Structure 1
């Protein structure tokens, strides 16, 4: 039996970057969640039929939530600048990385929308964890290859 490199991709092998209008947001984001496309289907029982029929509905894409550890030297200025640009065009790009953390060609996806929310760093004075802050983008459409 020979050793083969796993073809599975771990969470640590992804990266995400954010751009808001003309602001190049420095650094990468620790987590990306949401942005899933779903639809609210309806059931219809024609003539009171026993088995309902599913009716199609318009698709909708949920908010994209990015989160990372707060670094005062970078994020103090960035968070302030982002907060002043709520409602402006935003773009999130996610891509896979190889074992050396280089982007894997052909894996990037981008979603565009508007900057919806920027939070203050979450912390507890008695805590020993990292202060985190997040940015929420309300998308227009869905993820597309980039």
Structure 2
């Protein structure tokens, strides 16, 4: 399914239609990290002076970047939700999963106290899984 982007250009997909349930934890973490980097790159592109028609309004390029960023952020949320829902099969998967969860909470835009509490909880789980302090 496609919907027009606000810039009036070609229609673009509403979602990437990723089959997350078919991916391993390692693959999900790889996609999560790639989307995180893509999101940061798009944010930088949106803030370039050439993405603005004036000091407060995006031009067509800025609108296109914004539409792509919105789609990536929506998919990114689904990827991290899938990672959180998974039960790791071994210590390697647990490490990959927990690192992605901690990374997500630390870099999320919610209040810092909440991020630290959630990251702390995950770190506690990592330590408990290893049988004590690292």
Q: Which has the higher helix share?
A: 2
Q: Which has the higher strand share?
A: 1
Class of the TM-score when normalised by the shorter of the 2 chains: under 0.3
User: Larger C-alpha radius of gyration, 1 or 2?
Assistant: 1
TM-score (norm 1): 0.20
